[in-house]
Amino acid sequence: MPAEPIIARPREDFVSTPQVQELTTRAMGYLEAGLGVNFEGASGTGKTTLALHVATQRGRPIVLLTGDNEFGSSNLLGSNQGFRRRKVVDNFIHSVLKVDEESVASWVDERLTVACKNGYTLVYDEFTRSKAEANNVLLPVLEEGLLIFPSAAGKGGYMKVHPEFRAVFTSNPDDYAGVHLAQEALRDRLITMRLEGFDLETEAGIVAARSGLDPDLAYVITALSRQTRSDNDAYKVKHSVRAALQIAKVVVSRELTVRAGNLEFESVVMDILTGSILIESQRADAKRQIAALMQRLMPDSAQPAAAAIAFNAMQEGERLVRSTKDRVAPKQSKALGNTVF
């Protein structure tokens, strides 16, 4: 059966900050000009989330495709799957029996063909996980507006792409597992938007909206996580906003007090922030550094937001964020990337 499109709509709890709005506006402008967009960045920088959000803003059905090392062009275009047999028996003259049989290959469209034919929005997530040879079929689609089929397809060789068709890609060049180098011809046809991660305000909003944690407490946890991430040489930690979200979800589910000195809370923080460090001596050193940071960041559980803002203002290169009363609360916000299908 042909691939079915996804009808998506934004969730009511989407976090809309100036940074998210600016990225969305730029990407929408490129798509409206008929260009393809590639959100490029490391794991946890919001590539897939933003790609789905931008695709949803177009108001067109979405076809979602995830790159795979085993993909060939048939996984994008389609292929012959079996045969359709037709048999006609002519016995008009009772003494003469005429039988006419015909077998025709049955072609089934795959996601790229479905999107190009109907003017849907293609979201090709982690496209560099597919081999460059498989992605070659995209070159005439993005440049000439033509989808070219193999001779066995029986589709006349090519098809004009629907004028409403658009493509949004994501890629992670920093990953080393199963990633292929994208051909220059394809990259040249895309507008690449490099995502370095969201700012503190956006990340804290995401953590609060997705976990249900109080915004001020989410802000503190996010500030803690961001500091260990930005000063990786000192803390030996490499993680994304997912770490802060994991801490927040455990805090909510176990009703923990967010405070330095709370052993249960500190154990959760250490497990999540240092568990991936393989060398024991480095893990122990990172735990000492994080414990000291927690003492500075959350010395008074009654004023967590004030502590976070003061600590953030001290960090070199970090801009002074808005006060608590000006920040977006979950009930006013919309959770980033939680697109409803």
**Confidence band for 28, pLDDT divided at 50, 70 and 90:** very high
Q: Over the stretch 297-312, which tens digit does the pLDDT of each residue have? A: 876 544 555 555 545 5
* Angle, alpha carbons 307-262-258 (nearest 5°): 40
Mean pLDDT rounded to a whole number for the chain = 80
CB within 8 Å of 321: residues ≥ 6 apart: 199, 200, 201, 309, 312, 327
Residues in CB range of 94: below 8 A, 6 or more apart? none
Residue 162 has pLDDT above 80, yes or no: yes
Residues 69, 129: Cα–Cα separation, whole Å: 6
24: helix, strand or coil: helix
Q: DSSP states of 38-91 as a string?
A: EEEE-TTSSHHHHHHHHHHHTTS-EEEEE--TT--THHHHEEEEEEEEEEEEE-
Of 51, 2, 23, nearest to 166 by C-alpha is: 51
Which region among 100-109, 138-147, 250-259, 285-294 has the lowest average model confidence (pLDDT)? 100-109
Q: Residues of the chain with pLDDT > 70: what percent?
A: 74
Model confidence at 328, in pLDDT bands (50, 70, 90)?
Answer: very low
Q: Which residue has the tokens 């048999």?
A: 87
Q: What is the mean pLDDT of residues 54-74?
A: 91
How do 121-125 and 62-66 pair as beta strands? Answer: parallel
Alpha-carbon distance of 265 to 263, in angstroms, equals 5
On the question of pLDDT at 339 being above 60, the answer is no
Give the tens place of pLDDT for each residue, 100-137: 666 565 667 889 999 999 999 999 999 999 998 899 99
Q: Which residue would you say has higher pLDDT here, 99 or 264?
A: 264
The answer to whether the CB of 86 falls within 8 A of the CB of 25 is: no
Q: Of 286, 329, 336, whose CA–CA distance to 45 is shortest?
A: 336
The residue type found at 95 is: S
Q: Which of 144-158, 266-280, 314-328 has the lowest mean pLDDT?
A: 314-328
Q: What band does 44 get if pLDDT is binned at 50, 70 and 90?
A: confident
Cβ contacts of 223 within 8 Å, gap of 6 or more: 200, 204, 297, 308, 311, 312
Question: Token pair of 253, please?
Answer: 């589910």
CA atoms within 13 A on the CB side of 160: 3
With a pLDDT cut of 90, the percent of the chain lying above it is: 39
Q: What integer pLDDT is reported at residue 94 of this predicted model?
A: 66
Indicate the pTM of the whole model. Answer: 0.74
